[in-house]
Amino acid sequence: MTSSTSSSPPSSSSSHSPSPSFPPKSHTPATTAAGFIKAIESGSKHLLIKRFTLRYPEQKLKFVGDGYQFDPKRAVGIAGLRGRHILYHDKCTGCQLCAITCEGIAEAIGMVRVDEQWKHNKKAIMPQIDYGKCVFCGLCVDACPFYALFMTNDYELASFTKEHLIYTPAQLAIKPKYSGDVEIKIDDHGASHHG
Amino acid sequence: MADLEDRISESQKMGMQIVKESDDDRLMTLSVGPQHPGSGHFRFIVKLDGDYIVHCDPDPGYVHRGEEKMTEYRNFIQNIPHLERPVIHDSTNITYSYSLAVEELTGIEVPRRGQFIRAIASELNRQVYTLYWLAIYGIFLGHSTMFMWPTGDRELFIDLLEALTGARVTHAFNIPGGVRNDVPDGFKDRCLRQITYYEKRLKEYEDIFYNNPLVRQRTEGVGILTKEDAIRLGVTGSVLRASGVPYDIRKAEPYDVYNEIDFKVQYMKTADSFARAYVPFLDMRESCHILRQLLDKMPEAGEVRAKLQANPRGPPGEAYRRVESGRGALGYYIISDGTPKPYRVKISVGSFRNMLALPHLLVGAKMGDMPVIYWALNYWPVEADR
């Protein structure tokens, strides 16, 4: 494919006459010293500049919004972090569309029976999510036609056993508390984190 | 015995190397990889005569995951999360050409704002990938500052993409018909601020790495791939451009909104490892110009995604679309038989084609030059294996 077109520069790019980008000329002994000095100078400047490493467990990043959600009016997603899901029991009808979507992706969602009685959920089934399998693509949120399943900012899901990674409908209904307030500030001096 | 001879010649025809006991003890056979970070998840067998490589036999396939077969069991939308696994650092670009091909098959029109947003996401992701590659190239040249700096600056781009797409690495952002969500508030300002900062950083990268006399001496004149050889071997992307061929898919067959963007195809004529390492750097700089223009020209409001039916499908047919990824041309050839699932998907990746130049470049080089040549090829083993 490349060989057929690249024997001569493609016509579309010839309109603005591309010129090869030449790097600075090879270093002669005189400029070698200058090159070293410049390299050392650009590195040593950073001794005085504050580092922008995020001290993670003490500091947590602030995210956009409350997590990835779906806008019923425009039928597109709302930007946000795709963390752990939240399930609104008063909206879920047990239609299984989230589980059907996930079937070809991660097989993380299974429908389980719940004790609650809802008029709109005669079958009394709701999704249960296995976070050992979930890939956090959020396509289940897109698929939910009743806006019952959204995602939240909670990403700290580590646990000691596989069983604890399986979140039942009751666990998914709890709104997580996430308190990240650190933002990246970029100014003339460089990048840094500000609480 | 004749049977054995037949089998040996048969194996040799298939490209396998048989070392007979009578072979000269001079040569040492060395297996580089597949589990050592020195080669990624990829093995190549080299034969050494002293310090010089006299034979090289690449052996890809260690991380083959059957992505192409997996697509046949999922519908066009369910395919997206697993198709970005071959290159998670460039996941927007690898789903970009897939989306383009599916849109051609199903006849979906992408809204203009959606086209801009996914071009922005793709350019940001190109920065993320190239910075990651640069970090690895730096550390394999023994330049540990060049590992720390790009890794740190890459984090800022990941934060941007996280704000835009919701995930740090595997975005699942492109979808046939546009993008998943609109940009968040204040994204444009944040992005522009970041680009200004980043362009300043690129100057420092040049001072400490590309113009560093040690790096220049290490890479200049090592592993020459002439223009004729580059075309004959079919390499692509930065490797092709470093050999003096100004070929970029964004320019040669513009997709989405790239025909409205004014940018130069970056290429060099020196054709050595330094050129192959420098062209991605020039691409990053050019990508900043592209990002500025994209952010400037993006419509203020509008739809970002075409309405899809639950199981998008089109008439039986085939489509081939490609984009310029961080590693060169990345194309999808999709055959549809009219059902919601593709009949066959073929992924054509830049990594695999650049790998074909590896034996050509390594033979005759010193073993110590192996990392310099190999990592400059912009080769991503997982993508090559699919």
Higher pLDDT, A32 or B75: B75
pLDDT at site A4: 40
Are the beta carbons of B211 and A38 separated by less than 8 Å?
yes
What percent of chain A lies above the pLDDT cut of 90? 5
Higher pLDDT, A132 or A26: A132
B369 pLDDT more than 70: yes
Are the beta carbons of B282 and A24 separated by less than 8 Å?
no
Q: Is A87 exposed, middle or buried (0-12, 13-18, 19+ CB in 10 A)?
A: buried
CB B115 within 8 A of CB B256: yes
Least trusted range by pLDDT, from A28-37, A163-172, B154-163, B249-258: A28-37
B377 pLDDT more than 50: yes
- Comparing CB atoms, the residue among B73, B251, B266 nearest residue A10 is B251
**pLDDT, tens digit, 9 for 90 and up, residues A105-149:** 888 898 888 888 888 888 888 899 999 899 998 888 888 888 888
User: Predicted confidence band at A13 (pLDDT cuts at 50, 70, 90)?
Assistant: very low
Cα A54 from Cα A192, distance rounded (Å): 9
pLDDT at site B332: 92
CA triple B34-B37-B38, angle to 5 deg: 85
Where do the structural domains in chain A lie, given as residue ranges?
69-172
What mean pLDDT is predicted for residues A83-103? Answer: 88
pLDDT at site B333: 92
- Return mean pLDDT, chain A: 79
Are the beta carbons of B172 and A139 separated by less than 8 Å?
yes
Encoded amino acid at B354, one letter: N
B232 pLDDT more than 80: yes
Least trusted range by pLDDT, from B1-15, B142-156, B270-284: B1-15
Are the beta carbons of A2 and B234 separated by less than 8 Å?
yes
pLDDT at site A115: 85
What mean pLDDT is predicted for residues B259-264? Answer: 88
B178 pLDDT more than 60: yes
What mean pLDDT is predicted for residues B335-354? Answer: 89
- Comparing CB atoms, the residue among B167, B220, B267 nearest residue A21 is B267
A22 pLDDT more than 70: no
In three-state secondary structure terms, A69 is strand
B53 pLDDT more than 70: yes
User: Predicted confidence band at A10 (pLDDT cuts at 50, 70, 90)?
Assistant: very low
ipTM value, please give it: 0.77
How far CA B348 is from CA of A1, A192, B237, in Å, comes to 11, 40, 13
Residue B278: closest C-alpha in chain A: A23
**pLDDT, tens digit, 9 for 90 and up, residues B20-39:** 555 566 778 888 878 766 77
Least trusted range by pLDDT, from A23-32, A93-102, B143-152, B299-308: A23-32
d(CA B285, nearest CA chain A) in Å: 12
pLDDT at site B129: 92
pLDDT at site A3: 40
Cα B45 from Cα B6, distance rounded (Å): 23
H/E stretch holding B344: strand B342-348
B interface test, pick of A26, A98, A137 with most B CB neighbours within 10 Å:
A137
pLDDT at site A16: 45
Cα B176 from Cα B110, distance rounded (Å): 8
B198 pLDDT more than 70: yes
Are the beta carbons of B180 and A76 separated by less than 8 Å?
yes
Higher pLDDT, B7 or B280: B280
pLDDT at site B16: 58
Cα B222 from Cα B241, distance rounded (Å): 17
Q: Quick check: A77 contacting B, CB < 8 Å? A: yes
A63 pLDDT more than 60: yes
A104 contacts on B by Cβ (under 8 Å): 73-75, 78-79
d(CA B14, nearest CA chain A) in Å: 24
CB B172 within 8 A of CB B81: yes
pLDDT at site B340: 86
Which CATH number applies to A69-172?
3.30.70.3270
B246 contacts on A by Cβ (under 8 Å): 9-10, 13, 18, 20
Give DSSP secondary structure letters for A5-16.
Answer: HHTS--HHHHTT
- Return mean pLDDT, chain B: 85
pLDDT at site A20: 54
Q: Assign domain B67-349 to a CATH class.
A: mainly alpha
Are the beta carbons of A137 and B208 separated by less than 8 Å?
no
CB B95 within 8 A of CB B107: no
User: Predicted confidence band at B361 (pLDDT cuts at 50, 70, 90)?
Assistant: confident
B228 pLDDT more than 80: yes
**pLDDT, tens digit, 9 for 90 and up, residues B84-97:** 888 888 889 899 99
Are the beta carbons of A139 and B77 separated by less than 8 Å?
yes
What percent of chain B lies above the pLDDT cut of 70? 93
pLDDT at site B335: 92
Phi-psi region of A101 (alpha: psi -120 to 50; beta: other; left: phi over 0): alpha
User: Predicted confidence band at A195 (pLDDT cuts at 50, 70, 90)?
Assistant: low
B55 pLDDT more than 50: yes
A1 pLDDT more than 60: no
Q: Quick check: A190 contacting B, CB < 8 Å? A: yes
A2 pLDDT more than 80: no
User: Predicted confidence band at B124 (pLDDT cuts at 50, 70, 90)?
Assistant: very high
Give DSSP secondary structure letters for B172-235.
Answer: --EETTEESBPPPTTHHHHHHHHHHHHHHHHHHHIIIIIT-HHHHHHHTTSS---HHHHHHHT-
What mean pLDDT is predicted for residues A43-49? Answer: 82
Residue B203: closest C-alpha in chain A: A42
Least trusted range by pLDDT, from B3-17, B181-195, B230-244: B3-17
Where do the structural domains in chain B lie, given as residue ranges?
67-349
A interface test, pick of B189, B218, B245, B255 with most A CB neighbours within 10 Å:
B245
